[in-house]
A and B are shown apart, each in its own frame.
Chain A
Amino acid sequence: AQSVTQPDIHITVSEGASLELRCNYSYGATPYLFWYVQSPGQGLQLLLKYFSGDTLVQGIKGFEAEFKRSQSSFNLRKPSVHWSDAAEYFCAVGGDTGNQFYFGTGTSLTVIP
């Protein structure tokens, strides 16, 4: 069965600290992996995506993610968090074009000064 697990419901980090958000997936075919960010009351914004090739993917706002097939993981990282990064982060997996996404339950990020 297809699924995405984000083990951390809520994470609090200090501004300037590093960040890692975990994502594990289960998918029966070649996975296409995504990270989205959602600010309060806003829509989804794509941070980055992995389809193939280099397993370390660079995204917007200084985020990166690493695909590890052996661990079925696609963790999101940022070396230095900014207060504006406080938001909800969703990991998602999809298949070929036309297939739906499967979203994780999200990780809420709080950034403290």
Chain B
Amino acid sequence: GAVVSQHPSRVICKSGTSVKIECRSLDFQATTMFWYRQFPKQSLMLMATSNEGSKATYEQGVEKDKFLINHASLTLSTLTVTSAHPEDSSFYICSAVVGGHGYTFGSGTRLTVV
């Protein structure tokens, strides 16, 4: 149980276009989701926290107008990278809070901007 499905797993897009990444909780309601970014050979860095029905909370240095997060339902949170540039190429991963003290991660999205 407690599975988060993240799509797409890999995406290549042209510079200047936008890309949407979805994280969907399959068998539970995810009130809170976290979005992380991972550069090659580095650890995961929290980008933002999304709560269902309210605005996301962004970490310092993360451009909220560039990385749009929507958490409109208890089972779906989306991250849209707007006007993507090559420096946005990275591994993006979401996690959801499950029940008492559980957390589960999506499988990640490898974004390449060309």
Using CB atoms and an 8 Å cutoff, list the residues of chain A in contact with chain B.
Answer: 32, 34, 36, 41-44, 46, 51, 90, 94, 96-98, 100-101, 103-106
Which residues B91-110 have CB closer than 8 A to chain A?
93, 95, 97, 99-108, 110
Distance in angstroms from A41 CB to nearest chain B CB is 7
In the complex, A94→B97 CA distance in Å?
Answer: 11
A97-B100, A101-B46 given. 6 additional CB < 8 A pairs? A46-B104, A46-B105, A101-B103, A103-B44, A105-B42, A106-B42
- Which residues in B have their C-beta under 8 angstroms from that of A103? 43-45
- Whether B93 lies near A44 (C-beta < 8 A) is yes
Interface SS of chain A: helix, strand, loop or mixed? Answer: loop
- A97 to B49 alpha-carbon distance, docked (Å): 13
Distance in angstroms from B101 CB to nearest chain A CB is 5
**Are B44 and A94 in touch, CB under 8 angstroms?**
no
Query: Are the CB atoms of A43 and B105 closer together than 8 Å?
Result: yes
The chain B residues found within 8 Å of chain A, CB to CB, are 6, 31-32, 34, 42-46, 49, 93, 95, 97, 99-108, 110
The 5 A-B residue pairs whose C-beta atoms are closest, nearest first, are: A43-B107, A43-B108, A105-B43, A44-B105, A103-B43
Q: Are B42 and A97 in contact (CB under 8 A)?
A: no
Q: How far is the CB of B6 from chain A (nearest CB, A)?
A: 7
Chain B nearest CB from A63 CB (Å) reads 17
Cross-interface CB contact of A43 among B43, B45, B102, B106, cutoff 8 Å: B106
A43–B105 alpha-carbon span in the complex (Å): 8
CA distance A94 to B88 in the complex (A): 27
Chain A residues within an 8 Å CB radius of B46: 100-101
B93 → A minimal CB distance (Å)? 6
